[in-house]
Chain A
Amino acid sequence: MNGYAGHILRVNLTKRTHTISPLPEDLARDYLGGRGFVAKLMWDEIPQGADPLGPDNKIIAAPGPLTGVFLPGSGKLEFGAKSPASGGYGDSNIGGHISPEIKYAGFDALIIEGVATEPVMLVIEDHNIEIRPASEYWGKGALESEAMLKNDLGEDFQIATIGPAGENLVYFACISHDFGRQAGRTGVGAVMGSKKLKAIAVKGTKSVPLADTKATIEVGKKMFEACFEKPGFEEWTPQGTAGVTDWVNEVGAFPTRNFKSGYFPKHQFINGEQIVTQIKVTDKACYSCPIPCGKYSHAKTPKYDVHVEGPEYETIALIGGNTEIDNIKDCAYANYICDELGLDSISAGNVIGFAMECYEKGVIKGEDIDGRTLNFGSVDDFVWLANDIAYRKGVGNVLAEGVKTASEKFGEDTARFAIQVKGVEWSGYEARYAPAMMLSYITCDVGAHHNRSWAITYDVASGRDVMEGKAQRTIELQHIRPLFDMLCLCRLQWVELGFELDWYPQIFKAVTGREFSFEELLGFSERIWNLTRCYSLREIEGFGRSFDYPPARFMEEPITDGPTEGKFMPRESIDYLLDDYYKLRGWDNNGIPSQAQLSKMKLEFAEPVIAPLRK
């Protein structure tokens, strides 16, 4: 099959065996790749009711049909596993170079099952597969162990690792790769840790089969040329995602002080300009990317001397604004600490902001934390708590399971300011005055993550008081963006440069030989959106509408200052948005897909599971 490497690798860590089987044609035909493979394989393979951190959960890692091919941004990989954070569908995307390498080694998906008794690593060299002992790397940082493995195996291996947070089953532990790329969300790193799998190392030498080589070269070249011509090619790249920091503050959507405010008065000290002038060493790209968003940096003060990729926008928002760390070097240092510990910097900033507010309110007391402090603005406080979370010490042990679980344990109305949905912490956009962005967060299939639909610009352009049309736009974006995750391409060329979406069907045809309009490709994405909903419905008791609400802070407390001061989104508005959204999606009032919708999506196989859940 053109575009595909042609094989699936299944590794069983309990039995220490592996099998290589041909990629099923119908899987490729109906689910395309990446996120499509992840969702379908999770549905088929992970037994219902599996403990996310037990032997029955599986890690799926899947590149897509365009991964590793000559076109802009073809270096993404989709990881998936039942999420310890939500208990439902979980996936997370990573850039760098490991995804193409998996394809060059000959695989369209890795399925990792069982648990090892001792720390191990998976070493893939084309079709030579080994499960090797990894005790000497266990306990080491995510970056440190990658450096050790590069040294021991060879520079030409692409390596994914977990840090202590993953080993200690922190619910927001990430998988790290390429010294600064992370599959951050939904706790995929903890699932790796639960399997005692410290690392995946890959080296491949094979070619990706192409339907039409000449056309691939031609269209690929034209795509790069089109990127070169966009104004953003020169203007956006130097600062990368951090360039949006000032604008998000201008529109009052910057998470500040555990989402009390949408404006951080000191944002100009942590913006993209500060990265360029103070810490940047190199612009660092994922495979085949013309607009390297990675800002590899060196932050040095008398207190620390660290190299780190970033901080990118999300880290600036959640570590900078949300815990009020007000200078770029300290943000970079806190980012480095998270990366080395293997903590998702989004959730870490959110969780630590929550803990700082608990401390401020006296819910966490000095005596609970050995007389240390937990003050907003203190990088030292950030760092000690990040460490205690990763090693599950003291209050860190409670916070290691995320703000939802922590707020249930702390009580005292802390759930009101535990800023999460479905157990996954909210990322970098305050949405109390941005209805489409709000809806994007609350309906995102993996919890409060922005990457399925980034609608804040649409809210600003179309009117932030307007409720009509927001569900429609959110749904469109929820199909477009995850399509990139199915093809395993980066979406930033489209988002940031305005690169035309029409290019993708053209290159898809050249590579795979299959001809679709962009609209038709979106149909595949809609199917997956319905399937991931079904997955969470199957796994989480009582799942449905009640899981699609923001925390009370967003529905009841006005934003404290800045351009959006006084704004909040009352429950009735949320209800309006959800009603509209469910109707357009063909879901019932409780957010459950109708039988007609499931058959329209060719998901009849889910009907027996879903039918009893409908009222």
Chain B
Amino acid sequence: MRLVSDSSKCSGCKVCQTLCALVHFDENNPKKGALKIEGKFPVPGVYEVTVCNQCGECAAVCPVDAITLHGTTWILDRDTCIGCMACVTACPIGVMMVHPDEEAPIKCDDCGDCVRYCPREAILDADGEVKRMGR
């Protein structure tokens, strides 16, 4: 499983963010989704999707080793995390997310639900193991 995005297909619907937050926090709150959707309007009029590529830069700066490698995925242990947010600054693509109600940052764990439910197939698994539902 390796997440990649194809921004040209994104319609800005935020289904990915809403579902991400629902399955990880049991909360209907797209602001807690672990990926970024940005609209570039009025010009040029496109969306930009940024998903975690598991580069591990976050883990490298974490002072308490709260982010550890499981297979090919870096997973944040929210109990170990001390909320210093060093990883947020370190993330080269800005997808360690922060939310005012959460003490720990929010990190992608490669669950694949965004791939399964992005209506536009703008988020894909480069390994082709996970596909949009119905494909």
Contacts and interface: CB of A to CB of B under 8 A. Distances in A.
Contact of B29 (A206, A224, A290): A206
A285 B11 contact: yes
Contacts of B43: 307
B119 A207 contact: no
Query: Which of A69, A97, A284 has the most C-beta atoms of chain B within 10 angstroms of its own C-beta?
Result: A284
A475 interface: no
B117 A224 contact: yes
Interface in B1-50: 8, 11-15, 18-19, 21-23, 25-32, 38-39, 41-47
Interface string A274-314: 00000001111111111110101110000000010000000
B22 A285 contact: no
A360 interface: no
A298 B45 contact: yes
A70 B15 contact: yes
A217 interface: yes
Contacts of B31: 104, 204-205
A282 B47 contact: yes
Nearest to A103: B28
B128 interface: no
Given A205-B101, A216-B22, A284 B28 contact: no
Given A205-B31, A228-B132, A281-B46, A221 B11 contact: no
B14 A287 contact: yes
A233 B121 CA distance: 13
A283 B27 CA distance: 28
A179 interface: yes
B71 interface: no
Given A205-B99, A207-B28, A229-B134, A213 B22 contact: yes
Contacts of A147: 41-42
Contact of A207 (B23, B29, B41, B100): B29
Contacts of A235: none
A143 B45 CA distance: 13
Given A69-B28, A104-B31, A143 B119 contact: no
A225 interface: yes
A33 to B, nearest CB: 15
Given A104-B31, A213-B22, A217-B22, A288 B45 contact: no
Given A104-B29, A143-B42, A206-B29, A292 B11 contact: yes
Nearest to A290: B119
A495 to B, nearest CB: 17
B133 interface: yes
A566 to B, nearest CB: 44
B11 A224 contact: no
Main secondary structure of the interface of B (DSSP, over half): loop
A541 to B, nearest CB: 44
A207 B28 CA distance: 5
Given A70-B22, A225-B133, A228-B132, A205 B45 contact: no
Contacts of A282: 8, 11, 45-47
A228 B45 contact: no
Contact of B42 (A217, A290, A307): A307
A287 B13 contact: yes
A281 B10 CA distance: 12
Contacts of A297: 45
Interface residues of A, number: 46
Contact of B119 (A206, A213, A228, A284): A228
Contact of B45 (A104, A155, A224, A281): A281
Given A208-B28, A284-B11, A70 B119 contact: no
Nearest to B31: A205
A199 interface: no
Contacts of B117: 221, 224
Contacts of B101: 205-206
A287 B120 CA distance: 14
A68 interface: yes
Nearest to B135: A228
A522 interface: no
Interface string A159-190: 00000000000000000001100000000000
A233 B41 CA distance: 25
A227 interface: yes
Interface in A128-173: 143, 146-147, 155
A126 to B, nearest CB: 8
A505 B22 CA distance: 20
A390 interface: no
A155 B22 CA distance: 23
A221 B117 CA distance: 8
Given A284-B11, A307-B42, A217 B23 contact: yes
A70 B25 CA distance: 14
A600 to B, nearest CB: 36
Nearest to A221: B117
B42 to A, nearest CB: 5
Nearest to A286: B13
10 contacts: A155-B39, A179-B42, A208-B29, A213-B22, A221-B117, A228-B134, A282-B46, A289-B11, A289-B119, A294-B11
Given A70-B28, A213-B27, A294-B11, 9 more contacts: A104-B31, A206-B101, A217-B23, A221-B117, A221-B133, A281-B45, A289-B13, A296-B41, A307-B41
Nearest 10 pairs of A and B residues by beta carbon: A290-B119, A285-B11, A292-B11, A207-B29, A285-B13, A207-B27, A228-B134, A179-B41, A208-B28, A296-B45
Interface of B: 8, 11-15, 18-19, 21-23, 25-32, 38-39, 41-47, 99-101, 117, 119-120, 132-134
